[in-house]
A and B are shown apart, each in its own frame.
Chain A
């Protein structure tokens, strides 16, 4: 364990003022002994995650461009499929097109290709030890930042494909307060599930020599079983039933169905909440295991 530098505590600045430095550099202080500060700490972390990603606006817009191009290409495939099979899976053509652009809009906020957390680098560099001795729990800390990240990417990389889809093909929009509320709740639960999954993947680095395998497997499972490539509702037979019950369905298929009003509201939210809670619970257990491994065994 390396010695900890002491910097004067400034309750207003629980994170470094420079947005480029990681959550990491905070490491040394961020003392949160008094309760009222805890809430503001996490609120600040959400903001910090947002700002950190907002510094890469050009990159985000470039990503939005690519997502939009893929949205257009995939939309045509779905149009051809729904022309051959009108009403397939209870969607009409407009629903299918909308679904397609929602999936592209959610790629970045749900981080479907993996990543989004700095934990693997910090495990490799050994800096994770600093994070683990902090009084603020690592998982909550990471979650707060990730929510900020997701919020920014939803705006910067989610809105452009949706708007383009609306202009080029026309997309449906939810009607009524209930559907909007359901969709927004589904979106939040989707981010929580996505975080829960990626956090587990990130921590697995601690036990593996070559972590590329895990990231590829995670990427394959997430892109294919979230509904990003095709609606899970058209997966045939048992494969479809299985896919719709797995955690990845909570990341894209569920919020998309809530948006389209094609799924029972409470059942869908319940499934999402179940997966979010399960994955985050597993994450908490994994955090304890890694703390034991790093702090007690010394990495």
Chain B
């Protein structure tokens, strides 16, 4: 579903060349739920932007749902859903419900399909109470549930989540995790999740990838990740060990 072959991305910063991502190769099969870890500035966002077609890779190839994202950005847009935890893709001044209507028009979702889908999402994510509230008045947890709904209304094959649980309280986190697990299990949606919250990883991801300094530092199951650093009991310790020992 997602394939990267020696993908690289360089930036020019004041004449110096920075390799944000280099030689990155991995593939994700349909239906997988993959956690994508890495310290700040490791290249996570760059990878995600390449997957959505917002950034063109400077070397190698990227394929998502069989398409080259940077060339077929708008076609791909109908097949993937993206959530940026740090900012909303909803319309700030509009009621949540109007934002969803706009999404329906933009993605050309059939009204019947849309109504059924929205009813289902509103039920599972418990949106009923604030569908008529302008987005700017929503709490962070409500907004994130709204953003997730917006990303899923066109029933994408792939869902890319960039820190979806950032800043959320315990209850909101739990409800979003439960929802994502169900989505993946019942609909078979492929999910790529970047996060700094290792609880997300433990609860959701069978497979974990770790990126550091723009390169893939680890790719395997959660068990393998734990085994890779003997003597460290918790996932926090393992990841801290990997972040600090890789350099």
Answer whether A and B touch in the complex at a CB cut-off of 8 Å.
no
Which B residues are within 8 Å of any A CB, using their own CB? Answer: none
